[in-house]
Structures are given as structure tokens and as C-alpha cells.
Structure 1
């Protein structure tokens, strides 16, 4: 029987472990933390927060795979009234609709953006500087970068289209992402995967293929490979519980600067006690900015959109996500240029910053499936789904 070692028990690691076990491999998974999930963990206790806003896009290959195995579970539905409470800040004021120039970029049949030009230049040539700026900042919901306009036009365009598609692609597992992780862990256990928590691996085993499903920084240390780097983002994260007030918006997207607030209890009341609302937000910050700078911008957005929020706060948490929000591609680069999945000598690298296509968690999924196919000595495609995944642009 083939044997595979997986290091890391987040979404990518569990995907790899399940895929390998379904292919008949003998799998051992090591997780340094006492619980599985990685960045997909949901906080235990009164307020069920994820590590920053999380949504599961149904347009990617992982959606079908998860559904076929009944791993997603119940989804939180957005009441129509809440869905109508979508607001955008533009020129310092709240509005209900995006500027027309931004809508022009999203029209059906729009030009495919180039890889080697930055989004700001490409979009400005088509709809002007105002529309290009608004569109770039809106795309921050799927980018977590302080200057989306400076990134590859093709990279930003794909995420902008996915984030604005109707009906929306974003879905939310009821109870937070931990409910989905729990199902994945149970499925892995039923397949015979040996899961060892509080098991920090310092030296790679040499008797089995190894799939490293950690952050890129952790993989760089473990593999002692300084080439494992890629451009990412820094994001100030804020979680707030506030007493309920009628009329609070569901989502507030900042078109004046990159930033996003979302009232997650609008669709899932289980995330906070009765009478309270859970608001999560992310504010991308530049290399010279501090977490405090990002939180200050978040508070300005809250002041504008959530009346009296300061007096209604019952709980608060802040954090900084540095290089933990996925890869971004600069002009002239695409996902194919990121660190390769196959590191040689039976070592494979997976996660959301490696050479695999997709948006957000889709990159982790695709890279995990590809790594298993290669580790088992097959061509990508011998594990169902990987051929399609690799051909996606």
C-alpha cells in the first residue's frame, strides 16, 4: 500500500489526506496545534468568529468535491431584507449602487485583461481613473492587498468578476468554517487517516512521500528553502459584537480605499447570542502601516455605517494577518510562477500561495489534489478532477 505523510491539518492538509486515503493510500497527518483547521478554525465560545471573514465560493472545483462527500453541511441563507442592506462608501458617503464606470468593467463580454499590465492602467484606459479606482478597491474583498490597482490586471479581473457575480457565489457554512472542518476530519478518520495533533514536525520523514500543507513561511523553515517566497498582503482584522439595532447594513464595501465590513449574523444567527450582532472586517494595510492604522480606518467606516456602534459594543477582538491571506500576482506573473507543488525528492508543497489556479481556498484545494496525484506516482488527472483544475487560468 502507498504511504503518505501530510504535515498540516488545515483545509489543504485535510483535502490532501482525504484524497490520498480515497485512492487507497495509508495516510498519517501531523498537526502542530491541538485542533485541526489552520486558518479555517472557528473560535470556540460565545462569539463564533473565523480568522477574518470567510466565504465558500460555489464556482470552484472544491464546491462539487465537498458537496459530493456531504462535507459542507447546512448553509446559512441571507434573508432578502438583509441582502438589500448592501452599502458602498464612495466619495465619503454611503450609496446603494456602484458607480456606472465600475459597472462597465463588469459587463458581459468585457475584454480579457492582460497578465503583464497592472489593473489600474488597464482599467483606466477603458473606463477612466474613477471607475478603475472603485473597481480595484471593491476587489479587495478577495485580494486582501493595500493596492489592488498595482497587481496584474488578469489577476484582479478574475477576482472582481467572481466577487460580483449574480447570483452570488459566496456561501457560508452554518456555525462557521469549523463545522465543515469537523466533517472533513470525521471523513478522514472514517477513511483510516491517522491524525496526530500536537505533533510538530521538525525533520521531514524520508521513508514516505511528504505533503507539506503549512504556510509558506513555515514551509520555508521546514524545507530550509529560502526560495519559497511570494507576494502577499497585510490585513488588519477586526471582530465586533454589538447590541442589535434595526437598520444596520449587511455589508459595507469601501470604494475610496480597500476595506470591507460584513455583519455575519445577518445570515447566521448562531454566531452570537440573542440580541447581539457579529461584525467582521478586513482593512488591507501597506508595508509601512501598522495594525493600529488599519483599525483606525475600520472605525471610520463603522462610524459612517453603524450608528452608535461604540456604545453598543459587547466584545471586541483585533488581529494582524501578515502573509496569511493568500498569494497575489504582480504584473507579468500568474499562478504558474508561484512556488511549485513538486519540490523534488518526494516532497510536495500545497496551500494558497503555490502554483495552482483558483480563488482563495480553491488554490489550497487544487494544489492538494495535484500533490496527491504526483505523490502516488500518477499523472495529474489520474486523481479525478485534477486535469480540469490544472487547466484553469
Structure 2
């Protein structure tokens, strides 16, 4: 029986591995690092940070998939008391409530928005220029992009609608996202998936693997482009300054501060999960999208402005701090006239498939990784049933789906 090889041990990779193994396939996961998780890794040590703010959206398709397999584990919503401490910077001052126009627009279904028009133009016609600007900046929490108003109206509206849902959809795995990865890896192991860490696959090794069975490349799109030597593997993403802070606890701190004057968000993650920081301390994580020519320092300066508003005396209370820059690592963004179907196809031909958060699969944030991982696995399993000569697969097709796959459901 042919073996399916999966390159990358993150969310997309383990979704693909579990899906393929449940179909009866022999599967090997190849992870270049010593630890699993990809961008879902959680830092070791007293401060359990993720790579930027992370949350699962409860109504997404991956939530049901994880729940059915008992992989979710303990998760927590935002506590009701903390939800009352969400603050908004608008017109330079801190407010307890967002503009009414933003609330009205967030209730609209994404299907009502235009694919061909940019969000700024579409939203301005409905709630005015100021409301449209605030709505675009609020949606940036799920976009990681410096100019949300320039993106497709349908794309931004879907994220605005999900981020502004009541009750909130966001759920947080207790102990960080590494706990979720550990459960997925254990599930894969119990399904006899072979997991090889510290195994870096180059082009030569990939060609060798492809001669023994289908290959699912579940890496970042940049890594996939190099690995497959395919310049066409490209899609727009964000560029974002990330800041992590541990502060000594003080009563009255905001739960989160959303910047409506410019894209930016900072959240006290230990408010919902006390395991993320030592007793007496609070863990904050923030993201501040940057234009292509802006420096990381520019984003950090904006973060400090929000900290001054929502967390008085934060400088004197800081016990630990970390800063970084995420470029092309925050998922796909769709410009006017494009949808997820226009992104790089999952089926690359010759038994090679893509999975990740920048490929042709629907969903918000990590949902794209889950959906593409499932689809790639189904295609790979189908390929093992039809390939009679190792290394020769079906020709590439545009966004081909298998019957009953998650992408089929999205099209009906």
C-alpha cells in the first residue's frame, strides 16, 4: 500500500494526517523542527505565549471536526466580567463602546457584501466614511493587514461579522495552542501515523518521497514555493509587529484594547486562562499591522500608545517583554475581485497537494488550514487508489474536490 507523506507538523499537517489515517492510509509526518506545532507552537517557560494573538472560532467547521474526535480539550470563552472591560480607542480617546455604525455593519451577513468592491467603498455607502474606517480597523483583529479598507468587501465583512458576533465566538485552549497540537499528535500516533521530527525535506528528498506515494506540503506558502520550485505559489498576506508583555497584576486593567483609529489590538490573555503566567502577573499579547515600508518600531510605538490608555503604569509593572515581526505568516488576504478560490490550488498535480492558511480553501484564520488539510488528505487518499505507477499521479485540476469534502459543502 502506498504511503502518504505530509511535510509539516502544524495544524494543517496533523489535520491531513488524521484525515488520511482515518481513511485507512499509511501516513508519515515530516517536521523540520524538534518540536511540533508550526505557528501553533506555545512557548515554554513561565509565559505561555503563542505567535501572536490566537483564538478558535466556535462556529467554524474545524470546531465540529475537533469536537467529534475529542481533540478540543478544555477551552474557555472570555469571562463575562472581562467582556465588559473591552475598550476602544476612537478619535484619540478610550471608549467603552464602539460607534453605533460599526455595530450595525457587523450584524450584516458577509453574503451581502461585494467581492468586486473594496471594503472602504462598500461600507462608506452604508454607514458613512468614519464608520467604515472604524469597522475596517476593528476587523483587522482577524486580518493582520495594515489597510483592511483596501481589501475585498466580502472578505473583510466575513471577518467583521465573525469577530463581532454575539455571544462571542472566540474560544481559547487552556494552556495554549500547544495543548491542541499535542492532542492531535496523540490521535495521529494512535492511528499508526509515523511522526518524524528534526527531518528537513529539500527538493531532492521531496522527489524521492513522491515516488513512493502522494505528498501533502503543509508548510507556509513561502516554504512551499521554495520546496516545489514554483514561483506561482504566491498570495498576499499581512506584515505585523507583535508584542508580548508580562505585567504585575493591577485591578482595573482593560481586558483588551481595540484601536479604531488605526489597525491594532492588544489583549490580556491571562484573563481567560490563568495558566499562561505566574501568580500575580498578567500576560498581554498584541498585534499591530504595518505597511510594507514601515519599521517594526513604528508598530511597537503604536502598541505603547494603546498600553498607556488601557494599562496605566504598565512600564513600571513590566517584568518581561518580547517583540517580533511576522511577515507573510498571518494568513491570506483577498483583494477586490478575488476570493479563496483564486488562491494557489490544493492539487498541484503529480501527486503533490498543498495545505495551509494561504491556499484555496474557505474559512477564517486557522479554519483555512483545517479545511485545506482535510481536502488535501482526501485527494491524496483518492490518488493512492488510482495510481498504478509510483510517482505518476492525476494531472493538476483547478480546486478539484472529493465527494463529501468540506469544500463541496461550501459551494452548495
Q: Does the TM-score normalized on the shorter chain lie above 0.5?
A: yes
Unaligned runs of at least 5 residues, structure 1? none
SS of alignment partner, residue 372 of structure 1: helix
Structure 2 length as normaliser, TM-score? Answer: 0.93
In the alignment, what sits opposite 1:121? 121
SS of alignment partner, residue 198 of structure 2: coil
In the alignment, what sits opposite 2:20? 20
Written as runs of structure 1 = structure 2, the 5 A alignment for 1:90-239 is 90-108=90-108, 112-202=112-202, 203=204, 204=206, 205=209, 206-239=211-244
Q: Is 1:309 aligned to residue 314 of structure 2? A: yes
In the alignment, what sits opposite 1:277? 282
Q: Is 1:333 aligned to residue 338 of structure 2? A: yes
1:104 deviates by 2.3
SS of alignment partner, residue 46 of structure 1: coil
In the alignment, what sits opposite 2:411? 391
In the alignment, what sits opposite 1:363? 368
In the alignment, what sits opposite 2:69? 69
SS of alignment partner, residue 198 of structure 1: coil
Q: Is 1:251 aligned to residue 256 of structure 2? A: yes
Q: Is 1:9 aligned to residue 9 of structure 2? A: yes
1:80 deviates by 2.0
Cα pair 1:351 1:363 within 8 Å, conserved: yes
In the alignment, what sits opposite 2:294? 289
SS of alignment partner, residue 377 of structure 1: helix
| CA gap 1:227/1:111 in 2 versus in 1, 3 angstroms | closer
Cα pair 2:110 2:157 within 8 Å, conserved: no
Q: Is 1:88 aligned to residue 88 of structure 2? A: yes
Q: Is 1:240 aligned to residue 245 of structure 2? A: yes
In the alignment, what sits opposite 1:30? 30
CA distance in 1, matches of 2:63, 2:96: 30
1:105 deviates by 1.2
CA distance in 2, matches of 1:236, 1:387: 36
Cα pair 1:369 1:383 within 8 Å, conserved: no
1:110 deviates by 8.3
Cα pair 1:75 1:172 within 8 Å, conserved: yes
Cα pair 2:9 2:31 within 8 Å, conserved: yes
CA distance in 1, matches of 2:319, 2:175: 20
How many residues align? The count is 391
